[in-house]
Chain A
Amino acid sequence: MDIILALITALLIITGAVFTFAAAVGLNRLPDLYARMHAASKAGTVGSALMLIAVGIHAADLAILARSFAGFLFFVLTAPVSAHLLAKAAHESGYPLSDISVQDEMRRRQEQV
């Protein structure tokens, strides 16, 4: 039983670390800030959230598991909101998309207004 628990914890830790690493690499490789937001808000969030759950499972205590799940939910729910707000703020204050972008229908709307 202990072994299984440890294996699950180890799996969660490693997956989370790899996701976080992928997010950090994406932050450096992707062309513009909107694309970077994808990496940070998805892979990064999942990485940290998985590690929080790993703590709960490792402790094998319902109270701690509940708390780590609460942290997980909180983090997963707030990350998209902050990414969304940041993208909106950046777009409204005029940071352009990178040159390789295909289209920008939002820009078109702003020009009409």
Chain B
Amino acid sequence: MTAQAITQSAVHFGLVVLSVAFLLTVWRVIRGPTLPDRVIALDMLVGIVMGFIALIAIRTGYTLYIDIAISLGLVGFLATVALARFILSRKRREGEDGSPPEPLPERPDATVEQPATPESIPVASEAPEPVPAGTATPVAAPAATARPSPSKSEVTKASAAKVKIAKAKARGKAAGADQTASASAAAAAPAKPKPPRKPAAKPAAKPAAKKETP
């Protein structure tokens, strides 16, 4: 009986220590600045879980758990190898480990890619379009208030035009008006996080409004 007591208390101690180790490792998985750090921590987690399984096997007496631990080790090894191959093929990204990202040459690509969205939106469906226009207006208004006066009137005008467009579409307009409306909405939407791009977006919104008024 004492032998069992010794084993059981050791198992309890081990379970507590392993739990703490598990939490520490999970913390590294969450925080770990780079991808390999996380992979190491995940590899380590497999080891800790194998320890857990072994302790549970001792505690319950089901030695079949050893086979589970071995197969878990096999799966963990294969996963680590696969992730290592992935890291090898992916290359490091700037700023991944918390260092300030250098000015990337990919900026032009991002601006080129954005005009692709207006085409994709009208094809998808007509119903969700009033929603982005409606949500865009309240977000754009505070941005305008934060900025000096000349642009303020323009932005409010544009947002008013958008609301009008949305209303017009709710009434059921032609497909041509539909497309310009969605184009203006989509052009105004990416403009709000970036103040420098706003003047470029507004001329696109204004002609649409002029076309709409007659």
Which A residues lie at the B interface, using CB under 8 A? 2-3, 5-7, 9-11, 13-14, 16-18, 20-21, 23-25, 27-28, 33, 36-37, 40, 44-45, 47-48, 51-52, 54-56, 58-59, 61, 64, 67-68, 70-71, 74-75, 78-79, 81-83, 85-86, 88-90, 92-95
Question: Which one, B24, B40, B44, contacts A33 given CB within 8 A?
Answer: B40
Which residues of chain B come closer than 8 Å to A95, judged between CB atoms?
34, 36, 92, 97
Closest to B23 in A: A24
Specify the main secondary structure of chain B where it touches its partner: helix
- In the complex, how many residues of chain B place their beta carbon closer than 8 angstroms to a beta carbon of chain A? 55
Taking a contact as CB atoms under 8 Å apart, the answer to whether B3 and A6 are in contact is yes
Q: Mark B18-62, 1 if CB is under 8 A from A, else 0.
A: 101110110110000010110111011001101100110110000
Quote the shortest CB–CB distance from B11 to chain A (angstroms): 6
Q: How far is it, in angstroms, between the C-alpha of A61 and the C-alpha of B97 when the chains are bound? A: 49
Which residues of chain A come closer than 8 Å to B51, judged between CB atoms?
16-17, 20, 47-48, 51
Question: Which one, A14, A27, A33, contacts B25 given CB within 8 A?
Answer: A27
Specify the main secondary structure of chain A where it touches its partner: helix
B213 at interface, CB cutoff 8 A: no
Taking a contact as CB atoms under 8 Å apart, the answer to whether B11 and A13 are in contact is yes
Which residues of chain B come closer than 8 Å to A27, judged between CB atoms?
24-25, 28, 40-41, 44
Which residues of chain B come closer than 8 Å to A5, judged between CB atoms?
3
Q: How far is it, in angstroms, between the C-alpha of A67 and the C-alpha of B57 when the chains are bound? A: 13
Known: A13-B55, A24-B48. 4 other contacts (CB 8 A): A6-B7, A20-B51, A45-B47, A47-B47
Q: With A48-B54, A55-B63 in contact, is A71–B70 under 8 Å at CB?
A: yes
